[in-house]
């Protein structure tokens, strides 16, 4: 059976801390293996020597030696010391050992090596300092807020922007009652509840009030600091003052609205002026007996109508710079059919048109081309003595090869005469088609198979500008 000395000796050997016992003269009378390792000395070089000479190489005890306090209180005492000699940090605990009469006869020393903990603590301290510096010098307002809504800390930008003398005027105050005006408090309270539930808030617009009563527009973002168990401790809130930016955006919106109104008015007036010109041509045509001249006037009137439609579509649209070709060509085609008294059930119109937003500089020449070629097809492609099962006129407007537009108008009618050279024709309509194609920087191709087809391929200027 083990006796008490054997048990005590086993405990000393198993202990990782350096343990040694000194007598009243501070001389070491017992050490464990961990103490030998700490002092880098064998047991026989330690026993009988004074502990302060072993620990930090001094002839007299350390001025902060916990043994001094322990002698006064007769209770356990400790200190943290750095040993230059051993390049270590120790947590040094001293416990008194009493005789049966209550007198101190020995001192039990427990020296725990805390060097790694000290290094880690120093790293954490430096990182914390960096974070505090970052927090303090952020160019936006920053706060740390407790879970009950009190301001725990704020940076320089915050208290200066809010026109306080220092941060002390804000600390421990209610966030909602202090920095939010009455108009924003209901929303601020709602957002605070959302933060407590979800831990985050992103890009919320609010108003804050300065100490002097000035209202500022801010953009709020909130995140959460948690402890090691995942429990929410407090929030880190940031506010970006965008008062001037908001005013600038409102000014820009106002300017854009005024510009849109002006553009609408311009399109409206251009449309009205073109309609006046169209009406004048109509009055002139009515008073002319020569059928050829009258026909030319009516053709000009139709061309003007195609331009009127562009400005009408732009005036009615929210987008004042672009129109949808499908809607525009469809409306224009209905007008041309109606002008010639032809129903779409008699000559079918097929549209193969992509959803391409077209600029006015493209829409007007394309509309004029549709007017010319569609008018020609309705007038000449399907004479009474020409038999075809289903008369069809086809309009194609599609994007090909990224930034190019394929624009084609074709019919399955009688076709153009082989002797007709459309590049050198004296017909005003076809001359106009070539001139408009040139304006679009397009290439014109004539196809006489199965009727007549005129294809124009040109670059999409809007897509070019985007690239």
E-assigned strands of 186-303? Answer: 201-209, 215-226, 232-241
pLDDT band at 362 (very low <50, low <70, confident <90, very high): confident
Q: Is 228 exposed, middle or buried (0-12, 13-18, 19+ CB in 10 A)?
A: exposed
pLDDT band at 176 (very low <50, low <70, confident <90, very high): very high
Instruction: Of 27, 81, 76, 30, give the one whose Cα is nearest residue 54.
Output: 27
Rounded CA Rg of the chain: 47
pLDDT of residue 39: 80
Q: Give Cα separations from 26 to 38, 55, 105, 108 (angstroms).
A: 18, 12, 11, 11
pLDDT of residue 81: 81
Task: Identify the residue whose tokens are 């005492």.
Answer: 77
| 281 alpha carbon, distance to own chain's centre | 56
Vertex 383: Cα angle to 381 and 385 (nearest 5) = 135
Q: Does the pLDDT of residue 398 top 80, yes or no?
A: yes
pLDDT of residue 269: 63
pLDDT of residue 342: 86
Across the range 409-418, mean pLDDT stands at: 86
pLDDT band at 2 (very low <50, low <70, confident <90, very high): low
Q: Mind listing the pLDDT tens digit for each residue in 301-348?
A: 677 776 666 666 655 666 656 778 888 888 888 888 887 788 888 999
pLDDT of residue 266: 59
Number of CB atoms found within 10 A of residue 86's CB: 17
Report how far residue 439's alpha carbon sits from residue 361's, in angstroms, rounded to the nearest whole number.
9
Residues 6+ away with beta carbon under 8 Å from 181? 207, 208, 209, 215
pLDDT of residue 160: 92
Q: Does the pLDDT of residue 264 top 70, yes or no?
A: no
Sheet holding 392-400, edge to edge: 348-353, 392-400, 404-411, 452-459, 443-447
Number of CB atoms found within 10 A of residue 12's CB: 17
Report how far residue 454's alpha carbon sits from residue 444's, in angstroms, rounded to the nearest whole number.
7
pLDDT of residue 256: 61
pLDDT of residue 224: 93
Report how far residue 15's alpha carbon sits from residue 292's, in angstroms, rounded to the nearest whole number.
121
Q: Is 149 helix (H, G, I), strand (E, B) or coil?
A: coil
Q: Does the pLDDT of residue 275 top 80, yes or no?
A: no
Q: Does the pLDDT of residue 451 top 70, yes or no?
A: yes
pLDDT of residue 132: 77
HEC profile of 106-121: EEEEEEEECHHHHHHH
Q: Give Cα separations from 436 to 56, 287, 294, 430 (angstroms).
A: 100, 31, 24, 10
Lowest-pLDDT choice from 93-102, 154-163, 307-316: 307-316
Across the range 95-101, mean pLDDT stands at: 89
Instruction: Of 57, 56, 78, give the one whose Cα is nearest residue 67.
Output: 78
Report how far residue 303's alpha carbon sits from residue 314's, in angstroms, rounded to the nearest whole number.
18
Q: Does the pLDDT of residue 165 top 90, yes or no?
A: yes
Q: Does the pLDDT of residue 86 top 70, yes or no?
A: yes
Higher pLDDT, 430 or 206: 206
Instruction: Of 372, 377, 322, 373, give the one whose Cα is nearest residue 347.
Output: 377
Phi, psi (deg, nearest 5) at residue 63 = -60, -25
Q: Are 42 and 49 in contact (CB under 8 A)?
A: no
Percent of the chain with pLDDT over 70: 84
Q: Does the pLDDT of residue 280 top 70, yes or no?
A: no
pLDDT band at 180 (very low <50, low <70, confident <90, very high): very high
Across the range 242-262, mean pLDDT stands at: 69
Q: Does the pLDDT of residue 19 top 60, yes or no?
A: yes
Report how far residue 384's alpha carbon sits from residue 93's, in angstroms, rounded to the nearest whole number.
120
Residues 6+ away with beta carbon under 8 Å from 398? 352, 353, 354, 405, 406
pLDDT band at 213 (very low <50, low <70, confident <90, very high): very high
Higher pLDDT, 301 or 135: 135
Report how far residue 126's alpha carbon sits from residue 130's, in angstroms, rounded to the nearest whole number.
6
Higher pLDDT, 392 or 358: 392
Q: Mind listing the pLDDT tens digit for each residue in 23-33?
A: 888 888 988 89
Number of CB atoms found within 10 A of residue 371's CB: 27
Note the helical H segments in 138-242.
156-161, 175-179, 182-198
Tally of residues, the chain: 467
pLDDT of residue 229: 87
Report how far residue 7's alpha carbon sits from residue 229's, in angstroms, rounded to the nearest whole number.
39
pLDDT of residue 166: 93
Query: What is the average pLDDT value for the chain, to the nearest integer?
Result: 82
Q: Does the pLDDT of residue 34 top 80, yes or no?
A: yes
pLDDT of residue 447: 87
Across the range 409-426, mean pLDDT stands at: 79
Report how far residue 79's alpha carbon sits from residue 3's, in angstroms, rounded to the nearest whole number.
34
pLDDT of residue 292: 77
Q: Does the pLDDT of residue 10 top 90, yes or no?
A: no
């Amino acid at each position: 059976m083990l006796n008490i000395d054997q048990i005590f000796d086993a405990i000393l050997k198993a202990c990782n801390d350096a343990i040694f016992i000194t007598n009243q003269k501070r001389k070491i009378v017992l050490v464990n293996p961990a103490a030998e390792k700490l002092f880098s000395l064998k047991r026989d070089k330690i026993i009988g020597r004074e502990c302060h000479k072993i620990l930090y190489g001094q002839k007299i005890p350390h001025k902060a030696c916990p043994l001094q306090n322990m002698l006064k209180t007769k209770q356990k005492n400790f200190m943290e010391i750095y040993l230059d000699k051993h390049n270590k940090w120790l947590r040094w605990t001293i416990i008194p050992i009493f005789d049966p009469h209550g007198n101190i006869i020995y001192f039990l020393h427990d020296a725990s090596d805390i060097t790694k903990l000290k290094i880690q603590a120093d790293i954490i301290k430096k990182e914390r300092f960096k974070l505090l510096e970052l927090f303090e010098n952020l160019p936006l307002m920053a706060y740390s807020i407790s879970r009950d809504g009190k301001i725990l800390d704020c940076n320089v930008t915050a208290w200066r922007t809010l026109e306080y003398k220092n941060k002390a005027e804000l600390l421990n105050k209610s966030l909602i009652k202090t920095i939010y005006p009455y108009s924003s408090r209901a929303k601020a309270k709602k957002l605070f509840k959302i933060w407590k539930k979800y831990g985050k808030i992103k890009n919320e617009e609010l108003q804050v009030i300065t100490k002097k009563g000035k209202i500022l527009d801010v953009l709020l973002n909130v995140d959460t600091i948690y402890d090691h168990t995942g429990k929410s401790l407090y929030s880190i809130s940031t506010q970006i003052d965008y008062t001037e930016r908001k005013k600038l955006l409102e000014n820009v919106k106002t300017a854009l609205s005024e510009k849109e109104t002006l553009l609408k008015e311009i399109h409206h007036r251009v449309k009205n002026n073109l309609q006046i010109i169209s009406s004048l041509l109509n009055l002139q045509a009515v008073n002319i007996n020569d059928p050829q001249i009258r026909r030319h006037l009516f053709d000009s009137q139709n061309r003007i109508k195609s331009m009127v439609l562009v400005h009408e579509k732009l005036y009615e649209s929210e987008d004042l710079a672009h129109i949808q070709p499908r809607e525009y060509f469809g409306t224009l085609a209905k007008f041309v059919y109606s002008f010639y008294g032809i129903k779409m059930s008699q000559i079918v119109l097929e549209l193969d048109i992509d959803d391409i937003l077209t600029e006015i500089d493209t829409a007007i020449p394309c509309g004029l081309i549709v007017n010319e070629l569609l008018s020609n097809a309705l007038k000449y492609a399907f004479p009474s003595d020409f038999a075809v099962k289903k008369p069809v006129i086809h309009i194609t407007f599609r994007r090909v090869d990224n930034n190019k537009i394929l624009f084609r108008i074709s019919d399955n009618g009688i076709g153009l005469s082989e002797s007709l050279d459309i590049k050198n024709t004296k017909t005003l309509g076809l001359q106009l088609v070539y001139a408009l194609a040139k304006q679009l920087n397009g290439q014109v191709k004539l196809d006489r198979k199965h009727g007549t087809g005129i294809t124009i391929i040109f670059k999409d200027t809007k897509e070019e500008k985007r690239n």
